[in-house]
Structure 1
Amino acid sequence: MYKRPAQGEYAAYYEPYVDLVPEGDIVQLLERQAEETRILLKGLSEAQTLFRYGEKKWSIKEVLGHMADTERVMVYRLLVIARGDTVQLPGFEENAYVLTADFDRIPLVDLLANFVAVRLATIQLVKTLPEDAWTREGIANDQRVSVRAIIAIIAGHELHHRKILMERYLGSNGFPTE
């Protein structure tokens, strides 16, 4: 079952994400997050989802696509390590993923369905992990990481980006009100 990861179980650059995760049932948190993100964005128009709060910043669609892509990468890491594979896992370049995905051409309803589908798959995997898998460690992006740390990173990453969406996008003076 979930126990908060110790600092040595993940790279220091993930600490802001892990710190956002409250104590409690991590599966319930993951479930709530999927619904909260869907509700936050579902009523936006296609024009609103193209909003960028600054030059060279991602659009709302790109943020949502990034959230799903990152979760896919992290869940792959989680699966490999939880199953006891000792292969060293590569990093990934998030900006290149966003650039080549061309998320702005995809309807919001499809991006939301994608995010929710990825999250539901994450939840099913996490729910079925044997207890001893939670503390298994492996190497991803040249850094040691535990399964339970990856789960916390996934939850914290969503919280981080949802906060940015609320504050810098939807809460921006420049956000289109159409």
Structure 2
Amino acid sequence: MSRPAAADSAEFYHRYINYTQGDSVKEIIANHSKEIYDFYNSLPEEKVNYAYAEGKWTIKQLLQHVIDAERIFTYRALRIARKDKTPLPGFDENAYAENDGSVNRTSQSLKDEFNAVRTATDFLLNSFSETQLNERGTASDKSITANALCFIIYGHLLHHKLILEERYL
């Protein structure tokens, strides 16, 4: 299965897809999984409560956000790959952040959850056949393929890695 075409997702998601390197789901996993794992697991303990500006998320909130978003994107990919044509709703990332409880968690517990979610995601994405990756559904009122969602999952993680590097670390 090749990289998603422009029509495979809403334009908003193209920026995430463009962060990825590789021409298939298996290639983006091979190219980025270790890099992402290493980066997020090396976030410094002394900065986990840091936000680079008033009203911006802390590193702990950002880590919880990528966990939540990965779960949502993965759920969408699973439903679409399994030919579930039920339109899937969007989510308000700011409402999630306001209610995520990350302030009461240790950074290690967030990293452990991140690692568990990442491992489960990679198993799921690697299990999809080409036919399943080609399946199309609706999420946030927009047409999207399971394949595009796989690239979006990785692109979203890479997007936030860049933000962390530029603004937090």
RMSD across aligned C-alpha pairs, in angstroms? 1.3
- Hey, what's the Cα distance between the residues in 2 that align with 1:88 and 1:114? 28
Output one character per residue of 1:103-162: Cα deviation in whole Å (capped at 9) or x when no partner. Answer: 122100010111111111110111111221111100000000001100010000000001
- Hey, what's the Cα distance between the residues in 1 that align with 2:129 and 2:62? 32
- What corresponds to 2:57 in structure 1? 58
- Give the secondary-structure state (helix, strand or coil) at the position aligned to 2:56: coil
* Alignment match of 1:28 (pick from 19, 27, 30): 30
The reply to whether residue 78 of structure 1 matches residue 77 of structure 2 is yes
Q: If you compute each CA radius of gyration, which structure gives the higher value, 1 or 2?
A: 1
- Hey, what's the Cα distance between the residues in 2 that align with 1:128 and 1:149? 15
- Paired residues of 1:34 and 1:116 also in contact (CA < 8 A): no
Output one character per residue of 1:70-109: Cα deviation in whole Å (capped at 9) or x when no partner. Answer: 0000000000000011100010000111110121221000
- What corresponds to 1:38 in structure 2? 40
- Give the secondary-structure state (helix, strand or coil) at the position aligned to 1:144: strand
Shift of the alpha carbon at 1:167? 1.0
Shift of the alpha carbon at 1:29? 3.2
Task: Give the gaps of 5 or more residues in structure 2.
Answer: none
Task: Give the gaps of 5 or more residues in structure 1.
Answer: 171-178
Identity %: 36
- Paired residues of 2:41 and 2:111 also in contact (CA < 8 A): no
| Code of the aligned partner of 2:67 | A
- Which ranges of 4 or more aligned residues in structure 1 deviate by more than 3 Å? none
- What corresponds to 1:174 in structure 2? none
Aligned residues: 166
- What corresponds to 2:143 in structure 1? 144
- Give the secondary-structure state (helix, strand or coil) at the position aligned to 1:87: coil
- Paired residues of 2:65 and 2:97 also in contact (CA < 8 A): yes
